[in-house]
Amino acid sequence: MTLGGKALSDASDTAALERELARAGALIGPILEELLPSGRQDFLSDAVWYHLGTGGKRVRPAICLLTCERLGGEPSRALYFAAAVEILHNMLLIHDDLEDGDTIRRDQEAVWVRYGARNAVNVGDYMLSVAYGAVLKSPVPDAARARLAQAFAEALETTCRGQALDLNWRGRADLTVRDYLEMVTLKTGRYMALGMVGGGIIAGLSDDALAPLEQLGACLGAAFQIRDDLIDLTAGKGRGGVTGNDIREGKCSILYAHAVSAAKPPDRETLIRIMRKPRQDTTDADVARVHDVYRRTGSLQFADEQAERLVARAFETIERIPAADKEFFRRLTRYMVSRTR
């Protein structure tokens, strides 16, 4: 299987990269249909495909397949692992919406709103079990399959640890930027690297050779989350036009982490008070006040600067990836951290 590596290598614009990612991501469609049969009357299938049908670019499985190819592997052998990465991603979104109380995902009702909280938990658990099964279906030697399973389990464990900090640090008065970076690296870093690491394992890389891919994921994950924090203040996040959901939830964004230490006492007290309010009691005026504090403390500019530092670190890490086409990883890095949705 060839995924169009030459076209991607020669491409100089975002549209070309998006076409390559879309082509690669589309390859897992039949695998998803096999693993998650649609049309079953089992109180699972409808919710699964309702969620999968709300959109999503399948970027993570595409990254897995394209990374495998760039590292000299056969991407057809990575299809099941790529599908597992996509299923895990969507399972985490379903649970995350419930945990955060977000009612809209990709401009449609979240699964827990449409089908109920109990069903949303069960659907996510079902998808996770299917994802593990997909990993074990990978047509690779037993030793490689064991490494894939370990990488998958470690990514999920680390993501859950980061999510635990995210859920329990909300409205924290002494949150620091260092705390924030620890949280997002746990929550997003290993998870962001998972597709690349899986592609590398299938291509035959040793654990030492995989290390730059894991480090790239850590940088990308943190930069991606910072961008997500900024997008939350716009209408581009697919929440039905509602902005400031992170503020309503009291989430420990990089904006809050910076502002809570940089703000003068009156602003700091206002910030903490609003971030600790129950979601249902947080008004649009409250969101506007917090946004204003972020603006006046320079937190928006600080977030942009932190993202740029992480991109620079990612570019340094890319130089150590054992691939001839390092430009692919540079282009991918720019794409992942410059998104507007």
Which token pair is 237? Answer: 């996040």
* Strands in the chain per DSSP E: 104-105, 108-109
Q: Model pTM?
A: 0.92
> In the chain, how many H helices and how many E strands?
18, 2
Which residues of the chain have a pLDDT value below 70? Answer: 2-13, 235-241, 340-341
The predicted pLDDT at position 243 comes to 86
CATH 3.40.50.1820 corresponds to the domain 5-337: no
* C-beta atoms surrounding 340 within 10 Å: 9
As a whole number of angstroms, the distance between CA 238 and CA 321 comes to 34
The predicted pLDDT at position 152 comes to 98
The predicted pLDDT at position 12 comes to 61
Burial class (CB in 10 A: 0-12, 13-18, 19+), 314: buried
Sign of CA dihedral 23, 28, 30, 32: negative
> What are the residue ranges spanned by the domains of the chain?
5-337
**Could you tell me which residues are beta bridge partners of residue 108?**
105
* C-beta atoms surrounding 175 within 10 Å: 23
* DSSP conformational letter for 39: T
* CA distances (Å), origin 8, targets 5, 14, 192, 247: 5, 10, 21, 39
* CA distances (Å), origin 31, targets 19, 25, 60, 118, 290: 20, 11, 15, 27, 45
